[in-house]
Every structure is written in structure tokens, then in C-alpha cells.
Amino acid sequence: MRSTGNNLKITISNPMVSYNDTGPEEAPVIIFIHGFPLNKSMWDKQADYFKENYRVITYDIRGHGSSDAGSDIFLIEIFVNDLFGLMDKLELDKVFLCGLSMGGYIALKAIEKHPHRFEALILCDTQCTDDTSEAKENRMKTIENIKENGPHQFAEESLKNLFAVESFSTKKREIAAVREMIMNTNQQSLCNTLHALAERKETCSKLQGINVPVLIMVGIEDKITPPAAARVMHEKIPNSILAIIEHAGHLTNMENPVEFNNQLEKFLHPLAKNHSAYVLLPEIES
Ligand code: MLT
């Protein structure tokens, strides 16, 4: 039987995964995958809005939020297996999948592995390339720095890159929430995930083969995965739409949730409207 609510626990192979599952039982399912080094609470504004009409699932990637780290080495492929493990345990055959940044890396690898499990893909502030040697080197330096000095400096540097300049005056609550998410992430998991990000494989060469509708969203001021990276994916994915989100850096869904939710609903509506449990959500005003 389905359990609903927040901070539910499920065991997938060795790690315990913490997840939220809300919305009507029979509704179309959307799974949201968070970025690094955040957790499922970054999707709270999406869960609140979409749970009216969708079964909304958010979860903590292993080692993040309240999920166990498990004993495997961290790799994007392991995170992908965890996603399928969660879908299998919850008996979800086919879903809409939305990933932001690292969540997008996982989503792109997941559709490469089992394309028939997804009805549509939403790629937010992400990219299809692997790390350059300079980026890998920076990740290794960051690991050393976290090991030597703890996560404080890393958290402050990350915030500068994650948010648009204007968000530092308009989104103070969100910035404080993200700082807390980073500081609450286990230090070993931070380092292990940085390693997994550095080791990730490119997915650009597989994009042409994606044959479900894809929405690509990116914050106009995203410094980590800028609009140019989104355009590269848009050009390669046959049935894709690109939306550049104003007033946002890397965390579009937190920095401009109104525009993010409207774009997502506009995209999902034609795909979900034939579902029995679905009624059109009202457009929200900024
Ligand atoms: C993320 O937001 O998930 C990370 O910034 C991704 C990355 O560093 O490549």
C-alpha cells in the first residue's frame, strides 16, 4: 500500500532513502531530483503547487538530506540505480522526470539506460558535457579544502555561484535555507559527491536519441551551467523546448518559482490532460 506524506523512508539495496510522496493516487507522477549539495526540500514550492494534480515525489540522493550514504562508491551511475530502485519499490512504471543540475546529470543517464520508463524530461540548469581537466582539478582542490577546513568556506563560495546577484537582496530566506542544506550535508558525502561529479561521463552524444518531449529551463544568470550549455542541449534534443528564466541564477525553481512552475505546467498540461485525475492548474501571478 502507498504511504503518503513527507520524510518517508524506504530501503533500496543497502541505503535508506528519504522521500516525500504527495498528491492524488491516480494522478500522473512527477519525480524531482535535487542538485548538489542540496536536498529534496529545494522542491518544496513545486511540491506545494503540483500536488493538486500530480503525484509528486521528491527524494534525497544518497548521502544528502536524510538519506543514508550506503557503502558503494558514489557515482552518477549509482545514483541512477537508486532512482530506478525507488521507482521499482514504489511500483512506478513510467514517470515525468525533472532534474536540476546534478539531478539533470542523473536524469540524462537514466533516460539513456531505460528510455521506456519516462514520459517526458525536464532538464533544469544542467549540461551534457563531462568535466574539463581544469574543472576536475578544482573539484579535487575543493575536496582537500573541505577535509582541511570543514564545509563553511565551501558553503559560502557555493552560495555566490548558485544564486543570481539580485537574489542576495530578494531571496534571503532561500539563501539561508540553502546554506543550511549545505552545512547539514555530511562532510564525507560532500567529498564523495564532488568525486562522482568529476568522474561523470558526457551525455551530449546520446541526446539525439531522446524521443520524449523535453523542457529545458535555465536561469538567465546561471554561472555554473549557463544558458549557452542549455542551448547546446536544445539544439541536439529533437523534441525540446528551451525556457530562459529571468531573475534567476543556478537555482531557478527557488529563485523564480512562479515562472518555473508556470513553464513546467504549460509543458506538462498537454501531456497530462488526458489523465483522469487531472484538472488545469490556475496560472499564478508574480
Ligand atoms: C549542482 O548544482 O548539482 C552542481 O553545481 C553540479 C556541478 O557542480 O556540476
The predicted structure's pLDDT at residue 273: 76
Pocket test for ligand 1, best of 225, 250, 253, 254 (most atoms within 8 A of CB): 225
| Closest C-alpha among 273, 250, 285, 281 to residue 48 | 281
**Ligand 1 nearest-atom number relative to CA 251:** 2
- Please answer whether residues 102 and 35 qualify as being in contact, where contact means their C-beta atoms are separated by less than 8 angstroms: yes
Over residues 91-128, the pLDDT tens digits come to: 999 999 999 999 999 999 999 999 999 999 999 999 99
The predicted structure's pLDDT at residue 75: 98
Whole-prediction pTM value?
0.96
Give the Cα separation of 173 and 196 in Å (integer): 29
CA 102 to centroid of ligand 1, rounded, Å = 5
**Residue 172's CB: how many other CB atoms inside 10 A?**
10
The predicted structure's pLDDT at residue 91: 94
The predicted structure's pLDDT at residue 30: 98
**Ligand 1 nearest-atom number relative to CA 194:** 8
Cell numbers of 237, please?
534534443
φ, ψ of residue 114 to 5 degrees: the values are -135, 75
Spans in the chain with pLDDT lower than 50: none
Site residues for ligand 1, CB cut-off 6 Å? 35-36, 101-102, 197, 224, 250
- Please answer whether residues 5 and 21 qualify as being in contact, where contact means their C-beta atoms are separated by less than 8 angstroms: yes
- Please answer whether residues 20 and 7 qualify as being in contact, where contact means their C-beta atoms are separated by less than 8 angstroms: yes
The predicted structure's pLDDT at residue 278: 59
The predicted structure's pLDDT at residue 31: 98
The predicted structure's pLDDT at residue 131: 98
The predicted structure's pLDDT at residue 32: 98
Environment class of 280 (CB within 10 Å of its CB; exposed 0-12, middle 13-18, buried 19+) = exposed
CA 162 to centroid of ligand 1, rounded, Å = 9
